[in-house]
Amino acid sequence: MVEKTLSEFGRVDILVNNVGGSFASPFMKISERGWNSVLRLNLSTCFLCTQAVLKPMMEQRKGSIINISSNTGQVGTPGLAHYGAAKAGVINLTGSIASEFASFNIRANCIVSGPVATDAFGEKMMEDTKRAILSALAIKRFGTPQDIATAAIFLASDASEWVTGKAFEVDGGYRVTHSQV
C-alpha cells in the first residue's frame, strides 16, 4: 500500500487507520483466539500501517496520522471487553506516536466515534437496543459516516497543524450525557 502510494504520488501525507469489527460475547466466554483476533483487527493493523508510513513521513518531515477509535474504548461495555480494550489501545497508541514523532512534524490524532449508522450497524442491532443507544446520546440521532469524515478532513488539513496527540470525541454527546449521571 505504502510502496504503491509512493510510486504513484512520491509521498505519503495522510494515513487514516479506520478499521473495526468485533463480536459480542460475555467476558468469560471470550476465547484467547477470539481475543487475539479482535485485537489484531482493531489495534495491530493500526500499529502496522502506522509503522509503514512513518519512514517516508519522517524523510519528508511532515505527515498526519488519524486513527479511528470508539467510545467503547473509553467506557466499559458489557459483551465487548475485547473490542473496548483494542480501541482503548488505539487511543493510547495515538498519544505515543504523537509524542515520539512530533519533532518530525508528524501529527497523530484519534477520532473517538460514537455509534455511526452504517449498513452493518443497522443489520445487527435489535430495535430496542437502537432506542437505548439513542436515549444515551445528547444529540438524538446516530452519527453518519460524513460526521466522522468531516472530523478527519480537519485533522488531515493544515487547519489542525498545531494539534497532535488528541482524542476527538465525535459521538453525539455521549460522554456529556453520561458525565451528568
Q: What is the pLDDT of residue 128?
A: 74
Q: What is the pLDDT of residue 118?
A: 79
Which residue numbers are catalytic? Answer: 83
CA-based nearest residue to 116, from 160, 164, 153, 150: 150
Helices (DSSP H) in the chain: which residue ranges?
2-9, 32-39, 45-60, 81-101, 119-124, 127-135, 145-156, 174-179
Q: What is the pLDDT of residue 181?
A: 43
Superfamily of domain 14-179: NAD(P)-binding Rossmann-like Domain (3.40.50.720)
CA-based nearest residue to 115, from 98, 130, 96: 130
- As averages over each run of 10 residues, the pLDDT of the chain (181 residues) reads 96 96 95 98 98 98 98 91 98 98 98 84 68 76 90 97 96 70 43
Domains of the chain, by residue range, sit at 14-179
Global pTM?
0.91
